[in-house]
Amino acid sequence: MANLTLVQAVNDGLATVMRDDPSVIVFGEDVGPKGGVFLATENLTKEFGEQRCFDTPLSEDGIIGTAIGMAMNGLRPVAEIQFQDFIFPAFDQIVSEAAKLRYRSGGQYTAPMVIRTPYGGGIRGGLYHSQSGEAYFCHTPGLKVVIPSTPHDAKGLLIAAIQDPDPVLFMEPKALYRSVKGEVPEGLYTVDLSTLRTVQAGDDVTVFCYGAMVPVAMKAAAKAAEQGIGVHVVDLRTLLPLDEEGVLEAAKRTGRVVVVHEAPRFCGYGSEISALIAENVIEYMEAPVKRVTGFDTPFPNTLEHHYMPDERRVLDAIEQVHSF
C-alpha cells in the first residue's frame, strides 16, 4: 500500500477511476495543466488529455449545468468547485436540477455526477475561503453529501461516489489535505456510502464528528482517557443519506453524546443528530446532547483558531456530559 496524504488519495482515486472508466470526465477552474489550486488533479491532463481533464471559465453555474448535461447523456462528470464558498452561484443547478432529475423524469433520467469541493477552515483563508456549508445541501432529497477524513476513505468514497447513479457532493476538508497521511490500497476499491466509521471504541461518551473535526475529537478523547473517560468516536463520513441506525446504536452505547462540527451552530448538522437521538432513543440518554461547533458569525480571519472547535472545547463538552 502507498502512504498518501488526503489530497494525494483524492488524486489517486480520480486517476484510478479514469483509467477504469473512459466515461469519467474531470473539469473545473484551473484543474487542467495546473492541477488545481491544491494539486488534487495534478498530472491528470498529462495522462488523459484535455478531452478528459480540462479548465473551465469562472462560472460555477456553467460548470454544474454542463455536468448535468453530460450526466444525462452517458458520461460520468466530476466537476470541481475551487472552494465551497463559491458554490452558491450553482446552488439552483444543484438542488433544483441535478438532485430532482430522477424524480421529475419518473426515473427516465439520472444525474450520475460528482461535485468535488474543498471546504472548511484551517488554512487562514478568511471568510470567503473557509466556510462549511454542508447543512444547506443535506436539506436536499436526491442528493448525497460525503465528507472523508482519512486518505483511505477519501479514495474509496470518491470512487463509490463516481460510480453512484445519482449526484454526489463530495466535500474535502482542506485542513486535512496535507496534515494527515495513511495507507491507501492500490487500484480500484470503494467504501460504501451511507456507512459511518468507528474511529475508537469507548463506553462512557459518544462523539460524532466528520471531516477535519475527526482528528480534533481524537485529541480530546486522548485527554479524556487520562481522566478515565472512555470516548467512543464516530466518523459519520456520509451525511446524506445518514446511517441513522448506526448513529442510534452508537448513542445508546454510552447514553452520553457530543456532536462536533466547524459549521455555525444554528441549524447546523449537529441539530439533526440531536433530533434523531431525541426522537428515537431518549430513554437511553443519561445527559442532554452537547454540540461543539463554529459560532453564528461570518468566518473570521485573524480569530480562526478561536472560531474552529479545538480539543479543549471538545474535552470540556465530554466532561460536561460525563458528569451530568
- Residues classed as catalytic: 129
For residue 324 the three cell numbers come to: 451530568
Burial class of residue 73 (count of CB atoms within 10 Å of its CB; 0-12, 13-18, 19+): exposed
Angle between helix axes 269-280 and 244-254 (nearest 10 degrees) is 70
Q: Where do we find the cell 484510478?
A: 16
Please report the DSSP string for 163-174 in residue order. Answer: HSSS-EEEEEEG
**Cα separation, 5 vs 3, whole angstroms:** 7
How do 238-240 and 144-146 pair as beta strands?
Answer: antiparallel
Alpha carbon distances (Å) from 287 to 19, 220, 258, 268, 277: 50, 19, 10, 20, 12
Q: Which residues contact 155 (CB under 8 A, 6 or more apart)?
A: 4, 9, 10, 12, 13, 16, 184, 185, 189
C-beta neighbour count of 322 within 10 angstroms: 20
Q: How many CB atoms lie within 10 A of CB 57?
A: 8
For the record, the C-alpha cell of 236 comes out as: 459519520
Give me the phi and psi of 151, to 5 degrees please: -60, -40
CA distance 158 to 9: 9
Please give the Cα distance from 98 to 216 (Å, whole number). 34
Q: How many of the other CB atoms lie within 10 Å of CB of 157?
A: 27
> Within its chain, how far is the Cα of 72 from the centroid?
25
For residue 38, how many other CB atoms are within 10 A of its CB? 20
